Chain A
Amino acid sequence: MSEAPLLAVGDLDAFYGDFQALFGLSMEVRPGEAIAVIGANGAGKSTLLKTIAGLLPARPEAIVFGGTPIGGMPAHAVAARGIALVPEGRGLFSSLSVEENLMIGGQLNRSGPWNLQRIYQLFPGLAERRHLPSTALSGGQQQMVAIARGLMSNPKLLLCDEISLGLAPIVVREIYARLPAILAEGISLILVEQDVVQALKATQRVYCLQEGRVALTGAAKDLTHEAIAAAYFGV
């Protein structure tokens, strides 16, 4: 804990209307760190990412990014500060081509390592399909577009929501194989996953959520299968 955290979530409550989804949740992410957020359906994982990204309201001090309170800030302002969310279900712009999707990601003009050329080096499959409508791609390639679109804003913190959802295991492995190259640029990562094994392999620390609270946290390599199972299912 020597380094100041890039992102500090403290005592965060989040609501959908009257329904409370997060209860006094706290977590932090240090610069360059990759952490996994796991948990059963409805545990609040996606809610956590949406709240950080500014899509759901929060107290300002509940989310501090780079020393600045950003809780409840509009999503476009959060994005401008360097947080990119790869949304669950990818959320590609269907009437835009692959390259146009990437250009929308890059329209904030934040400086950094990622541009179209670097993206196409990381995902060569996208380069040859760049003029196709984004919906013409396979699910795995669409997920790559979604990640690449997030990277195009050169974020300091990348939030990935269920990037393995609905994809074949071999495709999931292919996507996870690109994460080290992304992390090598010094970016921080929060990975929300159902696929616990993949998530543990790709990250250093884990938060396991249960019913909107942190049930378990620790270094990915120290957590036993039993401990995770207990936190996951609340048994």
Chain B
Amino acid sequence: MTDWINVILQGILVGGLYAMFAAGLSLIFGVMRLVNIAHGDLIVLAAYVALVTTETLGVGPLVSLIIVVPLMAAIGYLLQRAVLNRTLGEDLLPPLLVTFGLSVIIQNGLLTLFTADDRKLDAGHIEVATYRLFDGVYIGALPLLQFVVAIAVIAALQFIFYRTALGRAFRATADNPAVARLMGLDNRHVFALAMALSLAVVAIAGVFLAIRANFDPSIGPARLIFGFEAVIIGGLGSLWGTFAGGLVLGVAQAVGAHINPGWQILAGHVAFLVILAVRPEGLFPRIRT
């Protein structure tokens, strides 16, 4: 019994990480209808940026967030202004192709710079610290921190979207870009800010990913799939739905892995397909008219 409680708890905590993968993806699609195929590779890029930061400055990975988050946000802003804004229009295909190309460029760029060797960030003591909930049920300090940060990230995005002028600008531009321009909103700038915010979340997700497990330049696309699945499970356009989607995916993978270690990824995909078949609009869709 405690065995299963542990498994589900692990799944939930990992789900927080998946929710962070998904949140940035969902935000970009929501604001500018851009499907960012390079999202997973940007997560891995953030992990390498954190690696370089920790190695050159001698700080821990969590402290490196002070540098990695603003740096990734700046990369996001520039990427949107210089490249992605030019791909946006009536047609959904150009942004898909360009971000796919970006994905290839990032993977190969990282491969050239860092080789295909596994890397990992060392967060020190926190990685092995655990708390005992009750007999036989334990929570790791790092997964717990990751989960709490995920909640904070989703709450912060929710606040930005629904309580600030920036969020109003995001929603107005998403509703009707031409009219938003008439209101004095420069689409190119608004979209670039959305991408900056997305990559700020990507930075946090990348650092936690890199502390949790080994990473190499090739693992981005799988993170993209997890992110996509969490978004679709949760329902498009709902941030807390995306969070729930991450948890469902995390639990499904943990349960699958517990039954048979080879079934971890498969179980996640099966859960995704089942929800797609039973509830194609996702668990918590936000109705947009």
> Do A107 and B183 form a contact, CB below 8 Å, given A96-B168, A100-B168?
yes
Cβ contacts B175-208/A at 8 Å (1 or 0 each): 1101111111111000000000000000000000
Q: In the bound complex, what is the Cα–Cα distance between A76 and B186 (angstroms)?
A: 6
Smallest CB gap from B167: residue in A: A100
Smallest CB gap from A75: residue in B: B181
Residues of A within 8 A of B168 (CB): 96, 100, 103-104, 107
B176 near A91 with CB under 8 A, answer: yes
Q: In the bound complex, what is the Cα–Cα distance between A55 and B183 (angstroms)?
A: 12
Min Cβ gap B83→A in Å is: 19
B178 near A76 with CB under 8 A, answer: no
Smallest CB gap from B190: residue in A: A76
> Do A79 and B165 form a contact, CB below 8 Å, given A96-B172, A96-B175?
no
B165 near A95 with CB under 8 A, answer: no
Count how many chain B residues have C-beta atoms less than 8 Å from C-beta atoms of the other chain. 20
> Do A104 and B172 form a contact, CB below 8 Å, given A74-B186, A76-B186, A135-B289?
yes
Min Cβ gap B174→A in Å is: 7
Min Cβ gap A137→B in Å is: 13
Residues of B within 8 A of A101 (CB): 172
Min Cβ gap A158→B in Å is: 12
B186 near A104 with CB under 8 A, answer: no
Verify if A140 is at the interface (C-beta below 8 Å from B): no
Verify if A105 is at the interface (C-beta below 8 Å from B): yes
Among A32-40, A80-88, A174-182, A199-207, the stretch in contact with B: A80-88
Q: Which of B141-187 contact A (CB under 8 A)?
A: 165, 168-169, 171-172, 174-176, 178-187
Given A87-B178, A93-B172, 17 new contacts (CB under 8 A): A53-B182, A76-B182, A76-B183, A79-B182, A79-B184, A87-B179, A91-B182, A94-B288, A95-B171, A100-B168, A100-B171, A104-B183, A107-B165, A107-B168, A108-B183, A149-B183, A153-B183
Q: List 14 A-B contacts (CB under 8 A).
A: A55-B181, A74-B186, A76-B187, A85-B182, A91-B176, A93-B180, A94-B288, A94-B289, A95-B288, A100-B168, A108-B183, A135-B289, A149-B183, A153-B183
